[in-house]
Chains A and B, each alone.
Chain A
């Protein structure tokens, strides 16, 4: 019921946080779709590029999501040991490392036309998408 009871002063930070999270997930999903669909043939090079650019675009989206989260937390009196906030931090910060690795692999796939690197980036993008689903579950159901 948190969303229902939220004071107006929290709205803008929450809007920034949710918009960032939606764009982050969308770019990761786009990267996965493109990298998973790319086959080892010349016309599909455009898909590998789409995957690399989408993962790169996910970085500012991550910053928007993370900045919005801190902004919202500065206004919301939630205890710092809330389990759902902890899950959010683990997914956001742990996911950032995975995201950076995926970006690096995707650009290696672009530069060296490496199918293996592209596949590895696709797997990491899929892992990130699953992590973000867990984060959405934690943010909406707020366990403990």
Chain B
């Protein structure tokens, strides 16, 4: 049975990975909206792929080791307001990032499309990444992550 310290290390490391993936996505998202040609767009979207793996590891690790910690530590319960709130925000964040990834996949396909000039393909990428949905998904991911961190540190409603 892993110790409290080991579980906390794995939980926090996963959180760092989750945030790192979001920053990589942010770069691809923000710069992908401004590219003038398809090739730089593809180069940018290329770094979103390893970030997808990092996001999966980070999201899975935070929830797995976080729930494990909540069960293991006396005084923590899964229904404590700060833990339940973090679980809710995790679901929102995870789903937002998953959907944003689908958008990146669509943008990659648009950038690689056999028809059209490099300029028109880049315009398609820009259009995909500038939609209201894309903005909302990206904002939800970021706000969710900061919210989870705040709940983990300030622990509102915790007895200790």
A-to-B contact residues, CB < 8 Å: 1, 3-5, 8, 11, 14-15, 18-19, 21-23, 25-27, 29-30, 33-34, 37-38, 42-47, 50, 54, 132-133, 136-137, 139-142
Are A47 and B9 closer than 8 Å at their CB atoms?
no
Are A50 and B31 closer than 8 Å at their CB atoms?
yes
Q: Which of A30, A38, A44 is within 8 Å of B27, CB to CB?
A: A30
Main SS of chain A's interface residues? Answer: helix
Are A29 and B24 closer than 8 Å at their CB atoms?
yes
Are B43 and A43 closer than 8 Å at their CB atoms?
yes
For A132, A136, A140, A142, which residue has the most chain B Cβ atoms within 10 angstroms?
A140
Interface residues contributed by chain B, number (CB under 8 Å): 38
Are A47 and B22 closer than 8 Å at their CB atoms?
no
- CB neighbours (8 Å) of A141 from chain B are 5-6, 8-9
**Could you tell me which residues of chain B, from 1 to 52, have a CB within 8 Å of some CB in chain A?**
4-6, 8-9, 12-13, 15-16, 19-20, 22-24, 27, 31, 35, 37, 39-40, 42-44, 46-47, 50-51
A37 to B48, CA, bound (A): 11
Are B20 and A26 closer than 8 Å at their CB atoms?
yes
- CB neighbours (8 Å) of A25 from chain B are 16, 19-20
Q: Which of A14, A46, A136 is within 8 Å of B31, CB to CB?
A: A46
B-to-A contact residues, CB < 8 Å: 4-6, 8-9, 12-13, 15-16, 19-20, 22-24, 27, 31, 35, 37, 39-40, 42-44, 46-47, 50-51, 54, 73, 75-76, 146, 149-150, 153-155, 160
- CB neighbours (8 Å) of A44 from chain B are 43
User: In the complex, how many angstroms separate the beta carbon of B97 from the nearest chain A beta carbon?
Assistant: 14
A133 to B154, CA, bound (A): 23
Main SS of chain B's interface residues? Answer: helix
| Closest B residue to A45 using CB positions | B40
A142 to B39, CA, bound (A): 47
Q: Which of B13, B23, B43 is within 8 Å of A46, CB to CB?
A: B43
With A15-B149, A22-B15, A38-B43 already in contact, 7 other A-B pairs whose C-beta atoms are closer than 8 Å: A4-B73, A43-B39, A43-B42, A45-B40, A46-B31, A47-B43, A141-B9
Are B150 and A15 closer than 8 Å at their CB atoms?
yes
| Closest A residue to B6 using CB positions | A141
Are B154 and A142 closer than 8 Å at their CB atoms?
no
User: In the complex, how many angstroms separate the beta carbon of A65 from the nearest chain B beta carbon?
Assistant: 12
- CB neighbours (8 Å) of B42 from chain A are 43
- CB neighbours (8 Å) of B75 from chain A are 4
